[in-house]
Amino acid sequence: MAKQPNLYAFGDVDHLAKSLRKYLLQCQSTGVERHNAFKVAVSGGSLPTTLAKALLAPSDENGFVDFSKWEIFFADERAVPLDHEDSNYKLLKDELLDKIPADLGKPVVHPIDVKYMDDVQGMADQYQDAIMKSFAAKDSVKIPIFDLLLLGCGPDGHTCSLFPGHELLRESDAWVAPIEDSPKPPAKRITLTLPVVTHGAKIAFVATGDGKRDILRQILDTEEGRSLPCGLVNEGGAERVSWFTDTGAVEGASWEIMSDDPQFEIN
Ligand SMILES: O=C(O)[C@H](O)[C@@H](O)[C@H](O)[C@H](O)COP(=O)(O)O
């Protein structure tokens, strides 16, 4: 039988954040062993708030967050100024980056280049170049392998700025693509493409709350859910994918759910 994503459900977001922290620390160690850096891509939505809960907690037996090794990219970003309310960079900055204590080090963060505000193709190309430089990718490197992609799941099953039925789901060359007709405003954005997402060494979805129940049931339990963007990531990433959810979000799903305090096996 094909290997499946891991599904973890926690009683509440605080318990989720505790286990997410453990998972993040294991991914951090693997990344540092792999290339002396932890290369991660993050989404917007509610994720940065949960991330902050996980990462700004005091050091524990699972180790400490060494932000000086972190290199943070955006899994998707809106084509707006960096101080705009819709900016995923601003969201991450307000929720997490500005709150990192000095002794945890400073991550390298890659915001979009705002000089391409009116040219989202140019913005996507520039962002792809930044990724290429970071991965020391010579032309021969076919695809960047992020140590971890941290994703959300929209009520329609979208993830990053990859929307159901959109032609961008078929993009197979570009690592970063522009979108000018996002059904969720703002319309103009850039996003990592599906092949980059599914090639991640680890891929984590964080989806909580009763509002996620219907879409999660669809993604995890139905045939049509498998063709939604989140379903395609599940299919491509298989056992490298982990879902961090709460009981409200997964009630009624028929998948095997691992309970509180899972023992992650990160290789
Ligand atoms: O820029 C974006 O629009 C986000 O990256 C988006 O993909 C988000 O992750 C999901 O919509 C889930 O959002 P919530 O976590 O708020 O439900």
Task: Give the pLDDT of residue 267.
Answer: 37
ipTM comes to: 0.95
Segment 98-108, tens digit of pLDDT: 999 999 999 99
Helix (H) or strand (E) holding 192: strand 189-192
Distance between CA atoms of residues 36 and 17, nearest Å: 25
Q: How far is the CA of 33 from the centre of ligand 1 (A)?
A: 30
Segment 50-66, tens digit of pLDDT: 999 999 988 888 889 99
Probe target for ligand 1 pocket from 42, 47, 158, 233, with the most ligand atoms within 8 Å of CB: 47
Segment 217-259, tens digit of pLDDT: 999 989 999 999 999 999 999 999 999 999 899 887 777 776 6
Q: Taking residues 210-214, what's their average pLDDT?
A: 94
With a 6 A CB cut-off, is 31 part of the ligand 1 pocket? no
Quick one: which atom of ligand 1 is closest to the CA of 152?
Answer: 9
Probe target for ligand 1 pocket from 20, 156, 160, with the most ligand atoms within 8 Å of CB: 160
Q: Do strands 70-74 and 38-42 pair parallel, antiparallel, or not at all (unpaired)?
A: parallel
Alpha helix ranges (H) inside 36-134: 47-55, 88-95, 120-134
pTM of the model: 0.94
Task: Give the pLDDT of residue 266.
Answer: 45
Distance between CA atoms of residues 9 and 247, nearest Å: 6
Task: Give the pLDDT of residue 27.
Answer: 97
* Exposure on the CB side of residue 20, measured as CA atoms within 13 A: 33
Average pLDDT score, the chain:
93
Could you tell me the domains of the chain? 33-250 (3.40.50.1360)
Q: Taking residues 165-179, what's their average pLDDT?
A: 97
Label residue 95 by pLDDT band (50, 70, 90): very high
Report DSSP letters for 118-153, one per residue.
Answer: T-HHHHHHHHHHHHHHHTT--TT--S---SEEEE--
**Range of weakest confidence among 69-78, 86-95, 136-145:** 136-145
Q: Which residue has the tokens 């998972």?
A: 23
With a 6 A CB cut-off, is 152 part of the ligand 1 pocket? yes
Task: Give the pLDDT of residue 141.
Answer: 67
Task: Give the pLDDT of residue 59.
Answer: 82
Structural contact between residues 234 and 227, judged by C-beta atoms closer than 8 angstroms: no
Q: Taking residues 170-182, what's their average pLDDT?
A: 97
Distance between CA atoms of residues 58 and 53, nearest Å: 10
Give how far Cα 267 sits from Cα of 21, 27, 106, 141, 241, Å.
17, 8, 26, 22, 13
Segment 108-148, tens digit of pLDDT: 999 999 999 999 999 999 999 999 999 975 555 689 999 99
Closest CA to 260 of 244, 236, 237: 244
With a 6 A CB cut-off, is 160 part of the ligand 1 pocket? yes
With a 6 A CB cut-off, is 231 part of the ligand 1 pocket? no
- % of residues, the chain, pLDDT over 90: 85
